[in-house]
Structure 1
């Protein structure tokens, strides 16, 4: 390779670095001002370094067999910040690949067509609705990973908002709780900062003030005393899996609905989003998110059944 070619390769890298640097504040604006959560083929683009953004673009070639660079996505991100988008999850990578395949030149027209449902839907006063309080009842492995996801995807903070975590104990284990949230052997370190407010029994994670409530049963808790109202309680303890047991949460002041992170028993609806979430009615105050195995296999089975049909199968976990 000649010196001119080497210089060209290096210059391309520097140009892409500059584009990624320009993209970072635009992604932040989408996230914090519009509650738009941008990703690239499932890989988050929020709070990512220049190098990570460039690596995520290289990943597209593995999954699509198509080159996608920041030169392709930066104009799309610029345009999105001007479209007054409503809250959404947007895969910029998939949009970028679709735009290239379409052979179009007007990126704004393309985005207005592809994102028609949310273009112009930004509401500066409500950001997509009133904030929804969420309480995690239990803080084991599922509870901690769910807390990470909620904090990471909080956007402007006006949609789902983690307000409290209920655990058993005496109140002298806050540092241990914080440590378990900071580190995970599979998912790695927590992305951000976690402080402990010992006086008020709370964790402050990336600006989220999360009260730690100590209780042995739902009957002991008045959530309104903590400024929490109309909350969704996510029970991840597995202690109760039927309607009678989970209905105890509804007796606590400040609770409106209950979500179980395990397969429900009896007449509880087991919901897999994207499969049967449309069956949830306004009167359903207790639902199950089904089992981990169900969530893993059902989307695949549905795609196969819709396309080819399934006569018989065997699944092991």
Structure 2
């Protein structure tokens, strides 16, 4: 590539940035290139997103092909939507004809659809690893398309300067980097300001006694990140507080609490479901992949082994711990422990009841884990057949946000920090022999999982954007 070619691409990308901003601010429209979102991107980021298209169409997508689409979109009367420029560009190239007429037909579902997105209040009960990532994602999403609004966090006061420390932990993260924006603290009113959004800090030891309406918060979705209560009786304490409509647990729910894996069984959420669970990071990481394999070839039985980054419930150095083995130093050892993820899959996919076993090995990395799916199928498959199908699912199906696919000899766990997908199948590691299949699935057990939680929040708030062009159902692939 010559300097002239590069400069031409930079010029095209520069022209796209204000158009992307207008779509987001004026129309609540977020855009992507084959699923790679164009949000807060630089000129180089836009170019890289167009290069990413080689995974789908085997060639780089020209910026000169997507810029005219953006120029048309800003002039159209669009409602809230998530629009894939890559898919639109390739479809238009195939069918030809007048671009505006093509876009009018493809985007008819959201043209003139300008009703207000519901402004659901969200409260984060607990502000640890998942809570702070949820805050970051919610702040971004509400800026992108007026999604649910983060109104408050509830914590136990740990020190006199507690709010300053909470704000500092939101501002800086050793794994996920700095917060993208500005943060300030109003100590007098116990408010953290993040990108212009006031987040009320409420100090409480008892979820049932908080009066959220005193802070102007009502009919809120409370996302419980503490893990202290996982059954219905414990989580119902939140519903006794004033101003709470629903509760979502960021851990596997016990008893009759519905465990939701977005993309798999979220359509089963009803208005009567006031208490829900987002299951676990591992359950979210493996369930979509297991569904795809089971629907296509059938799973007779299998074993799930997770190689999981250490978490805050382990000890940094050897010390007493109520759990078996977790008292040994997390950063110095591989720690064999149990996981309920294999059994939990059946709560989202009942057809897996009794089919899976599982164990976990905690390892000395701070984030990103791997699940090894050792499966016996109902019919024979080849490695190429499995990889080709999962790649197609990751690019064109309704599970594109959940499943990704990679085929690189160089990737390691840190390359997946910050992925919004729940599981990434490593195609080079796939093993197939007759009915025996082994899949290696990477997942960011913090950020990928947090994105799934936010998708559930948006679903129950009625604030999920319409995705266009429509993605294919699995049976259509």
> Which of 197, 208, 221 is 2:197 aligned to?
208
Q: What residue in structure 2 maps to residue 249 of structure 1?
A: 238
Does structure 1 residue 146 correspond to structure 2 residue 134?
yes
Does structure 1 residue 104 correspond to structure 2 residue 93?
no
Q: If the length of structure 2 is used for normalisation, what is the TM-score?
A: 0.61
Instruction: Report if the CA contact (8 A) 1:242-1:268 is conserved.
Output: yes
Q: What residue in structure 2 maps to residue 239 of structure 1?
A: 228
Q: What residue in structure 1 maps to residue 367 of structure 2?
A: none
Instruction: Report if the CA contact (8 A) 2:221-2:248 is conserved.
Output: yes
> Which of 197, 217, 233 is 2:206 aligned to?
217
User: 1 or 2, which has the higher helix percentage?
Assistant: 1
Q: CA RMSD in A?
A: 1.9
> Which of 142, 159, 181 is 2:170 aligned to?
181
Q: 1:157 to 1:67 in 2, by over 3 A?
A: closer
Structure 1: any 5+ residue segments left out of the alignment?
A: 1-5
Instruction: Report if the CA contact (8 A) 1:33-1:156 is conserved.
Output: no
Structure 2: any 5+ residue segments left out of the alignment?
A: 307-477
Instruction: Report if the CA contact (8 A) 1:171-1:201 is conserved.
Output: no
Q: What residue in structure 2 maps to residue 195 of structure 1?
A: 184
Q: Matches of 1:304 and 1:113 in 2, distance apart? A: 34
> Which of 24, 36, 41 is 2:29 aligned to?
36
User: 1 or 2, which has the higher strand percentage?
Assistant: 2
Q: What residue in structure 1 maps to residue 153 of structure 2?
A: 165
Render the CA deviation track for 1:10-43: whole Å, top value 9, x for unaligned.
3332222222112111111111222222233443
Shift of 1:168: 0.8
Shift of 1:273: 1.3
Q: Matches of 2:68 and 2:293 in 1, distance apart? A: 36
Q: Indicate the SS of the match to 2:237.
A: helix
Number of aligned residues: 305
> Which of 27, 38, 41 is 1:45 aligned to?
38
Q: 1:78 to 1:163 in 2, by over 3 A?
A: same
Q: Matches of 1:171 and 1:82 in 2, distance apart? A: 52
Q: What residue in structure 2 maps to residue 81 of structure 1?
A: 74
Q: What residue in structure 2 maps to residue 55 of structure 1?
A: 48
Question: Relative contact order (alpha carbons < 8 A, sep ≥ 6): 1 or 2 greater?
Answer: 2
Q: What residue in structure 1 maps to residue 470 of structure 2?
A: none
Q: Matches of 1:76 and 1:265 in 2, distance apart? A: 48
Q: Matches of 2:296 and 2:160 in 1, distance apart? A: 53
Q: Matches of 1:311 and 1:99 in 2, distance apart? A: 43
Q: What residue in structure 2 maps to residue 3 of structure 1?
A: none
